[in-house]
Amino acid sequence: MANSFTRMMSGRNTAVMLASMGAGTLASGYLLSDNAAAAEKRRLYPPSADFPDLRKHNNCMASALTPTIYGQLRDKTTPNNWTLDQCIQTGVDNPGHPFIKTVGMVAGDEESYEVFGEIFDPVIKDRHNGYDPRTMKHPTDLDASKITSGMFDERFVLSSRVRTGRSIRGLSLPPACSRSERREVERVVVTALSGLKGDLAGRYYSLGEMSDREQQQLIDEHFLFDKPVSPLLTAAGMARDWPDARGIWHNNEKNFLIWINEEDHTRVISMEKGGNMKRVFERFCRGLKQVENLILERGWEFMWNERLGYILTCPSNLGTGLRAGVHIRLPLLSRDHRFKKMLDNLRLQKRGTGGVDTAATGDTVDISNLDRLGKSEVELVQLVIDGVNYLIECKKDEHSVQTLMQYFQFIFLNFGKHLNSPLAVVYGLKCYTCWGDNPGSCNSVWDCPKSYDRCASTIVSQNMISKHCMRSDLCSNSYSVGVRCCAEDLCNGAKQTAVFVPLLLVPIAVSTLFT
């Protein structure tokens, strides 16, 4: 009974009753203060009794939360009465994710990141590649003219997309917002978007007014979000009152879209079919700047601070909130067990084309940037462009490698009988410890330039062979020469196959002389 009473009298409920009934005698005699209520709760149920069982969990929150931190934060609330337990509930209910390591917590309002900083800060540092929100400042750069090589080979890239999120300052975030706050977000944003002109002009479509057929068509075209069914989102309260005050705004060409009241107050998206990422990003920057100006003109502003950048619901989207991605065909490369490691080195991530909760199946995958915080928008988009172009070059080499392997098989079948011992060819991939710094440091350089040039010109052009990561080794008999490659990466590992075929001529020729 005492516990029910103190819980009822805590936080916002106490403030409302004091305001409506008069604070004089009530404050001094009949009502417990916030501090007294918290002390009573700690006496009856200490933090150790409330600490969640995270022994089988694999998310950033579970790694960072300790009994000490929980004890310090359990009884704190934000001005909107949001608690630590509400922040972490989605991570407690969902121990892990089949495809990614999740964050495991959400913010209910802008103040959550300050009030519960002792847990948010280490989670942010873990998720954002060591970014320390206590000491570092986040850069912002929306100058699309700085982008280079932003046109992909459209034989491989099917579509390009850039998105971010923005939150309206003064209103609770989706996990904590009331119906009235959610409707206010919709009103503020839709009113502002009516001011967009030119190629950005469009209209708003409320989910509540759409037919099921219209909704499904937009979902199938990757324009519209569906009702959240992922446990990560539903446990965080994202699906409450669905579809109240949710909708999509898009321009007439359907290449500039804004989702309202999904995971964040707004999601701003620029997208189109094909590989022109630079044009997609230019439209994104131009549209985002206009939207922010229209919001400011109406007396509102986006949540932002210099440590965390733009404030969004999930800590994974802090900073730029930006995800630049492509749908790309990589039939062989994407199925190689080393592909994930290669993406990690490029600071990229792979998803299914249906979103974060879908597996990558078939030949087409969604490739996007892994980081959001600590790098500017321009830096992240350029990183994706460079990384995707690199993957495309690897994909182009697959055909050459297959042709060379067929030639290798022909030589082996026709000339292998002349060898006095089994042909020894050692094929190795890169040593990942030296990736990106000095790829040749883990191997001695093949020191026969004339032979190298001759072999290179025999089958393939010079630019298909990485000269610095080759060396010759003597094999089990004195006249069979094998080649070991410490490839610069998975792609160059494939390229080295080009060297094997001409080099096989050496042991074959030597063997022929002795038979």
Instruction: Give pLDDT tens digits for 199-239.
Output: 999 999 998 888 888 777 777 776 777 777 788 888 999 98
Lowest mean pLDDT across 40-49, 132-141, 194-203, 467-476: 467-476
Q: How confident is the model at residue 425 (pLDDT cuts 50, 70, 90)?
A: very low
Q: Which of 190, 448, 443, 173 is nearest to 317 (CA)?
A: 173
Task: Supply the pLDDT for residue 402.
Answer: 53
Residue 162 among known ligand-binding residues: yes
Who's near 137: CB < 8 A, 6+ residues apart? 306, 307
Is 416 annotated to bind a ligand? Reply is no
338 has binding-site annotation: no
**Closest residue by Cα to residue 236 from 170, 166, 164, 177:** 177
Which stretch of 130-134, 318-322, 441-445, 460-464 has the lowest confidence by average pLDDT? 460-464
Predicted confidence band of residue 429 (pLDDT cuts 50, 70, 90): very low
Query: How far is residue 289's CA from residue 298's CA, in Å, rounded to a whole number?
Result: 15
pTM over 0.75: no
Percentage of residues in the chain having pLDDT higher than 90: 53
Question: Does 356 show up as a binding residue in the annotation?
Answer: yes
User: Other C-beta atoms within 10 Å of 29: how many?
Assistant: 7
Q: Is 376 helix (H, G, I), strand (E, B) or coil?
A: coil
Residue 163 known to bind ligand? yes
Using pLDDT thresholds of 50, 70 and 90, give the confidence band for residue 35.
Answer: low
- Cα–Cα distance between 251 and 258 in angstroms, integer? 9
418 known ligand binder = no
pLDDT (0 to 100) of residue 220: 76
**Percentage of residues of the chain with pLDDT beyond 70:** 67
Known binding residue 399? Answer is no
CB 294 within 8 A of CB 287: no
- 203-207, 478-482, 497-501, range with greatest mean pLDDT: 203-207
**pLDDT tens column, 38-50:** 667 767 888 989 9
pLDDT of residue 358: 55
160 is in an annotated binding site: yes
Residue 161 annotated in ligand binding? yes
pLDDT tens sequence across 346-405? 999 998 765 555 555 668 899 999 999 999 999 999 999 999 999 888 877 655 555 444
What is d(CA 65, CA 371) in angstroms, rounded to the nearest whole number?
A: 22
What pLDDT does residue 88 have? 98
Report pLDDT for 515.
Answer: 39
323 labelled binding-site residue: yes
Dist. CA 319–CA 113, nearest whole Å: 13
CB 373 within 8 A of CB 131: yes
Asked if residue 91 belongs to a known ligand binding site, the reply is no
Report the C-alpha gap between 173 and 182 in whole angstroms. 9
Confidence bin at 317 (pLDDT 50/70/90): very high
125, pLDDT greater than 90: yes
Task: Determine whether the annotation assigns residue 400 to a binding site.
Answer: no
Higher-confidence residue of 339 and 28: namely 339
pLDDT at 342 (0 to 100): 87
pLDDT number for residue 481: 32
Asked whether residue 16 carries a pLDDT value surpassing 70, the answer given is no
- Average pLDDT rounded to a whole number, residues 460-471: 35
Q: Which residue has the higher pLDDT, 109 or 459?
A: 109
Is 325 flagged in the annotation as binding? yes
What mean pLDDT is predicted for residues 112-128?
97
- 69, 3 contact by CB (below 8 A): no
């060379």: which residue's tokens?
A: 404
Confidence of residue 313 (pLDDT cuts 50, 70, 90): very high
Determine the pLDDT at residue 9: 44
Does the annotation list 327 as a binding residue? yes
- CB neighbour class for 86 (10 Å; exposed up to 12, middle 13-18, buried from 19): buried
